[in-house]
Homo-oligomer: A and B are copies of this chain.
């Protein structure tokens, strides 16, 4: 195996492929367009796996990420972030090269962008179905109509439809709640679509959070799905019960530095700058990752009672069982399953496959 000296993100490519195949099959069965979000992996090499499976359209979260993938031949990209008007030069560059899909949630943005556009882009209106992060709130039909009318008026913007991210599924208590949020949100979008039919006849609906996309099999009422996290999954998704442990495709290998037997704690070289400080609260405890023993083919199984208790810049402190302690010594490598794989991948900036190959990250 690849020699590890410091926190290193490992990737199980077989799991990546399985996660991709499963999602692709679903999209095909439902006859929806599959436009995976590449913000999770941010990797040209992982992007190529998607390409091999016929994926042609992608989603990214910044114009810089769009540039990174456009340079590698991706020519149909949605930037799933309301347009940043001051990056107009990047927008114009991309518009001259690829099919660029932008998101709008204000009249001002539509006006400023259209005034400064040199090439053609596609435009979606971003709808907030209850997550309350970005987008026009679904109840504000007056504003929605106003923005859509303004988008349609523009020569250089082709209005495509409604785009939403049901991010509130991440805060669900169980699978039924996720499905309920999904169905309510899809209903909301279709209701808006029907109310806009006098303004525009051909309105696409694009959605795409991993919890919904993992649990829903029939995407009726939707034209496009944009999940991202599903390609790796993580402990957050496992705790939401939207993936199985054997679907999680990344884990951070890290050196064991010290063992404090009295307090059943282990110090590892793996801190907030490696894992990110994302956490979840389970039974009143804040967890920053789940440590597992390494095994011949990668990382071992999750065992109850082991978790990352705290993270500082470079220090990770594990709370572990007697059994876990017995199985490790200083200088060993253990793995940590991240709470949020997207942020961990972004922090570590590269991957190593289980057979020791280096894989790029933007």
Contacts and interface: CB of A to CB of B under 8 A. Distances in A.
Contacts of A277: 276-278, 343
Contact of A86 (B109, B255, B312): B255
Nearest to A279: B277
Interface in A228-284: 255, 257-260, 262-263, 265, 267, 269, 272-273, 276-278
Contacts of A313: 39, 61, 342-343, 346
A344 to B, nearest CB: 11
B272 A133 contact: no
A314 interface: yes
Interface in A78-119: 81-87, 90, 105-106, 108-109, 112
Interface string A49-64: 0000000000001101
Contacts of A179: none
Contacts of A133: 267, 310, 312, 315, 317
A330 interface: yes
A32 to B, nearest CB: 24
A6 interface: yes
A331 interface: yes
A17 interface: no
Interface size, A (range): 35 or more
A329 interface: yes
A137 interface: yes
Interface in A126-152: 132-134, 137, 140
Nearest to A109: B330
Nearest to A40: B313
B269 A84 contact: yes
Contacts of A6: 62, 64, 84, 87
Given A6-B87, A273-B346, A346-B313, A258 B134 contact: yes
Nearest to A339: B277
A87 B5 contact: yes
Nearest to A108: B330
Nearest to A140: B262
A231 B20 CA distance: 46
B346 A62 contact: no
A85 B268 CA distance: 12
A167 interface: yes
A295 B137 CA distance: 32
A330 B85 contact: yes
A341 to B, nearest CB: 11
Contacts of A106: 258-259, 330
A315 B133 CA distance: 8
Interface of A: 4-6, 39, 61-62, 64, 81-87, 90, 105-106, 108-109, 112, 132-134, 137, 140, 167, 255, 257-260, 262-263, 265, 267, 269, 272-273, 276-278, 310, 312-315, 317, 329-331, 342-343, 346-347
The 4 closest A-B pairs by CB, nearest first: A277-B277, A85-B331, A61-B314, A273-B346
Given A39-B313, A140-B262, 12 more contacts: A5-B86, A5-B90, A39-B314, A62-B314, A112-B330, A132-B265, A134-B258, A167-B312, A272-B343, A277-B277, A313-B343, A313-B346
